[in-house]
């Protein structure tokens, strides 16, 4: 190993190259990284200045360019699929259709990992299931007159609000949190997609 | 979306580059860094030196070049690339097509730019 390969700029570049060539088979990725390392060993004298190193790295091209030439496909940017998919999945509107269409759009995007996709697809239904459960819990613990007149009557609504102060606030808080979770998740997934697209657009 | 002139030239360059590399190996076998540097010195041939290494690997995979490690007095062993008969064949085919194409483009451009 010569001085060049112990250089921090070179090591940063090679690490970025490793990341950019992730999709390649392991032996191809290793071969390419070794070829580039050997190239830099030849190109840079032991007493190379920072300028020399930067020039040599510039001449090589960005890790993304090199990865592209090795057959790594370019990742598309965030687009309509991601926007509409997240909106439909978070709002769940139109009822059920929103989750299904949104879920399909999320599942078919190249910008999320499998785990992120599952999160996006199911956070909406799970949160709403939570809200419905909360409503059921309330209607079963409310004023008996509520049962007689039906869940949507005024008696039930007042029953909800008149349960002891602490329980009411807890319920409201839980409701707000459950309602917000799909939107917070959508925001997180939006940024995650942006990071994935950005990593491939930059060096 | 209209392709810019530089897009078109990039495509041409990408297509011709592997045959230029093969042509460089006809007189003698050469090592990777030497090939990369020589090409880099020719104006307009290579924009990113790093992209030549996947190209060399592809040529080897396609059986158009072979590689041999040789000791070098100035440091670690070097990987030398040599052209194969299959490589010579591919180069000859490309050269014939290229000459036809070049002549056709030249004559049409000449008529269009006088």
List average pLDDT for each run of 10 residues in chain B, which is 114 residues long. Answer: 78 90 96 92 85 95 96 87 97 96 93 79
Residue A198 — pLDDT band, cuts 50, 70, 90? low
- Give the closest residue to B77 by CA, choosing from B68, B86, B85: B68
Q: Nearest CB to B32: which of A35, A60, A61?
A: A35
Q: Select from A92, A71, A80, A90 the least CA-distant residue to A28.
A: A71
Q: What is the pLDDT of residue A142?
A: 58
On the question of pLDDT at A4 being above 80, the answer is no
- Give the per-residue pLDDT at A17: 93
* Residue contact B50–A65, C-beta within 8 A: yes
pLDDT in tens, A66-87: 999 998 877 767 888 899 999 9
Distance from CA of B52 to the nearest CA of A (A): 8
- The arithmetic mean of pLDDT across residues A162-191, rounded, is 86
Query: Which of A2, A36, A42 has its CB closest to that of B50?
Result: A36
Residue B53 in contact with residue B81, Cβ under 8 Å?
no
Region A45-62: mean pLDDT is 91
Q: Give the separation between CA B101 and CA A78, rounded to whole angstroms.
A: 40
B53 vs A35, A68, A71: nearest CB: A35
Q: Which residues of B touch A60 (CB under 8 A)?
A: 48-50
- CB spacing of A36 vs B40 below 8 angstroms: no
Q: Do residue B55 and residue A69 have CB atoms under 8 angstroms apart? A: yes
More confident residue, A103 or A1: A103
ipTM of the complex: 0.86
CA-based nearest distance B49→chain A, Å? 4
> CB-based contact (8 Å) between B85 and chain A?
no
What ranges in chain A are assigned the alpha helix state H?
8-20, 26-43, 50-60, 63-69, 80-91, 97-107, 114-141, 144-149, 154-162, 165-201
Distance separating the N- and C-terminal Cα atoms of chain A: 26
What pLDDT does A160 receive? 54
pLDDT tens readout for residues A135-148: 888 777 655 555 55
Write out the DSSP string of A156-185.
Answer: HHHHHHHS-HHHHHHHHHHHHHHHHHHHHH
């Amino acid at each position: 190993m010569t001085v060049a390969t112990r250089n921090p700029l070179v090591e940063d570049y090679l690490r970025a190259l490793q990341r950019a060539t992730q999709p390649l088979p392991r032996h191809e990725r290793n071969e390419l990284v070794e070829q580039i390392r050997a190239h830099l060993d030849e190109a840079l004298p032991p007493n190379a200045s920072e300028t020399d190193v930067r020039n040599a790295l510039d001449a090589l091209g960005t890790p993304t360019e090199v990865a592209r030439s090795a057959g790594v496909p370019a990742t598309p940017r965030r687009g309509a699929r991601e926007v509409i998919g997240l909106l439909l999945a978070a709002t769940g509107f139109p009822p059920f259709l929103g989750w299904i269409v949104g879920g399909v759009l999320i599942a078919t995007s190249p910008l999320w990992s499998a785990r992120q996709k599952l999160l996006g697809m199911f956070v909406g239904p799970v949160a709403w299931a939570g809200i419905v459960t909360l409503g059921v819990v309330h209607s079963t613990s409310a004023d008996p007159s509520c049962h007689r007149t039906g869940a949507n009557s005024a008696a039930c609504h007042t029953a909800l609000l008149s349960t002891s102060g602490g329980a009411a606030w807890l319920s409201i808080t839980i409701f707000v949190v459950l309602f917000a979770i799909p939107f917070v998740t959508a925001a997180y997934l939006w940024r995650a997609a942006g990071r994935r697209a950005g990593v491939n657009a930059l060096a | 979306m209209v392709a810019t002139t530089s897009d078109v030239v990039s495509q041409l360059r990408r297509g011709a580059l592997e045959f230029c590399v093969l042509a460089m190996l006809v007189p003698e076998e050469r090592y990777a860094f030497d090939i990369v540097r020589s090409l880099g010195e020719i104006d307009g041939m290579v924009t990113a030196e790093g992209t030549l290494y996947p190209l060399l690997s592809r040529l080897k995979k396609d059986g158009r070049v072979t590689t041999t490690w040789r000791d070098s007095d100035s440091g670690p062993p070097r990987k030398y690339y040599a052209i194969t008969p299959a490589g010579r064949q591919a180069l000859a085919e490309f050269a014939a097509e290229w000459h036809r194409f070049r002549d056709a483009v030249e004559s049409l451009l000449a008529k269009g730019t006088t």
